[in-house]
Amino acid sequence: MTSEIESIKDSLKKNVTDIKSLINDRNISLKKEKDELLEKRNSLSAQLARIDSNLDGSKIRNSKSFQVVTDFFPEIDAGKLEKVETFHKGITKILKTQLNAEKKLIVESLSVADSDIEKLDKELLKIVDSKEESVYLLERLMELDRSNRDLITQNEYWSRESKIKEEISQIRNEIGETIKESISEIEKSLNSGMKYYIESICHDKAILPTLSLDSTDYKFSHGDDRGTGKGFANMIALDLTFLEKTHLPCIIHDSLLFKNLDIPAVESLIKIYSGFTKQIFISIDEVSKYSGDVKSLIQSSEFIKLDKDKLAFKVKWKSRQE
């Protein structure tokens, strides 16, 4: 296409006699295409004629059709002829289905060929009807130029699409790597925090819990110590780590957690609580069993105290249930 455009441009610029040669070349090219289409169409028409002939010749005969045969040859068994004809009927039905399917395809192909031939005829008429050979060349030049521009635009879009896909793929890979790095940093930070708090609560005898993270799942391991008290201590250490290292404003721990810890562990935990600037709410009973300094910390921080005379919601639930 590009070479044809340049050739036309050169001819128009030079205004030489090879304009007619270019038109003739185009005419010959179009006629060659048409001849090939006509040959294809003739072949399809011949195939269609054969199929129509086969379909017309596959008439199904009944018992009356055998009367002429039995008149000339009385010894022929008409019943056997009917059985043979019944077999032929089945074969004919199968062949008709196949022939009709093939006929449909050929008719569609003929329609496409006729459409293409009509387009070529219009193109040839344009060349013949041109009063000025240069007019046709100009029209052809504009047509080719439009097609060329369309192809250039399509190539540009394809190049951009390909480049964008590569960039998207690169960005996704970078995001994936960044997520992995971030998760790894978060994992290290949480495990470091839990190590500090579990050793502060249970001292140097503690078996450290570990948290393993990936982009879609996590695994929290308690190590070899799977006791209930140690499990609660691990959970408390994780809560405190979240409180320290995130924007979490507060945590709440119920007295049930402390009942499963030994007294030294609870005393260490109360001291850790008191060192936070963020709010930590706890409910705790049996305060009297703890050391004096821990009791002082609890009493100085309490904002509500319940006993047999100061009831929650002013209801003695045990008596109510009885």
- Residue ranges covered by each domain of the chain: 2-129, 184-305
Distance CA 125, CA 139 (A): 13
The SS3 of residue 150 is helix
Looking at per-residue pLDDT, the higher value among 226 and 268 belongs to: 268
- At residue 110, the pLDDT reads 85
Cβ distance 207 to 227 under 8 Å?
Answer: no
Q: Which residue type sits at 234?
A: N
pTM of the model: 0.49
Work out the percent of the chain whose per-residue pLDDT is above 70: 70
Average pLDDT over residues 213-231: 83
Assess contact for 220 and 229: CB atoms under 8 A.
Answer: no
Q: Could you tell me how far CA 49 lies from the centroid of its own chain?
A: 50
Residue type, 128: V
Which of the following CATH numbers is that of domain 184-305: 3.40.50.2000, 3.40.50.300, 3.60.40.10, 3.90.1150.10?
Answer: 3.40.50.300
Q: Average pLDDT for residues 296-317, to the nearest whole number?
A: 82
Which letter does DSSP use for residue 276 in this model? -
The pLDDT value recorded for residue 131 is 45
Of residues 319 and 253, more confidently modeled: 253
- Among the ranges given (43-57, 245-259, 288-302), the one the predictor scored with the smallest mean pLDDT: 43-57
- Are 240 and 193 within 8 A, CB to CB? yes
